[in-house]
Amino acid sequence: MSEHLRLDIADSVATLVIDRPAKRNALSFDMWAGIPKLVAEVAADDSVRVLLLTGGEHFSAGADISEFAELRADAAGARRYAEGIHTATDALTGLAKPTIAAINGFCIGGGCEIALACDLRIAADNAQFGITPAKLGIVYMLPSTKQLVDAVGPAWAKQILFSADIIDAATALRIGLVNELHAPGDVIKRATELAHTMAARSQVTIRGAKEIIGRITAGRFEEDEAVHALYAGSAESADYAEGVRAFLDKRTPKF
């Protein structure tokens, strides 16, 4: 496990901290490799309902390019490196529990990939965003490109990837790259507040919604047996019984 990743768990919320401030949280290959292991811990821990990702002063300035000469020296090395990134982002995307990226400072390149792999992005109003493979001669991976297109649409995805420009937080909010903006000192507070709100809601509903939204963004619109099983499971769940009882009793449900 990378020394620059830390997982803290408290009150149903796991916080994965990117902790390499000397390099503005640039992601080494070992850090990419460590993310799936920590996400697996979150998945296996029944006490955790929400995963929050953050990085302190900066979310992440991107992949550690100083490693590229060695680790991406040829096509085979580039493929292995890309597979490591994909495994990390796929772990986040595939987590059944909701994920929130709390973004301060730089959210560039690989940092933006991690943020886009999360369900929600809460950012500082002075945060900066960019995806910059056009400055390096790298073709951005298809799964990560799809997540960008899903968030901002094809026209803005093209502008971001073709220009490699850094965009400000106001633009990021306007185009749908982030959900909310807050003062830098309030980002973690707001993201944590939102995490606790989601942790208090029906997990049957949240996980079902995440599954169905994932199907829709993958172009799967049919209500097959798996979707019907989600409906049936919710109707027979303890959450449904508690939700109806709480509504009738005029009280807050306890899921």
pLDDT digits (tens, 9 = 90+) for 131-140: 999 999 999 9
Query: How distant, in Å, are the alpha carbons of 15, 60, 134, 147, 149 from that of 158?
Result: 32, 22, 11, 13, 9
CATH 3.90.550.10 fits 202-249, yes or no: no
Domain with CATH 1.10.12.10 in the chain: 202-249
Domain with CATH 3.90.226.10 in the chain: 5-199
Share of the chain above pLDDT 70, in %: 100
Which residue do the tokens 């290959």 mark?
Answer: 29
The confidence band for 239, taking pLDDT boundaries of 50, 70 and 90, is very high
Q: Tell me the β-bridge partners of 111.
A: none
Question: Considering the entire predicted model, what is its pTM?
Answer: 0.95
Angstrom distance (rounded) from CA 209 to CA 97 = 11
> Which H or E element spans position 101?
strand 99-103
In the predicted model, is pLDDT for residue 157 greater than 70? yes
Fold (topology level) of 5-199:
2-enoyl-CoA Hydratase; Chain A, domain 1 (3.90.226)
In the predicted model, is pLDDT for residue 1 greater than 90? no
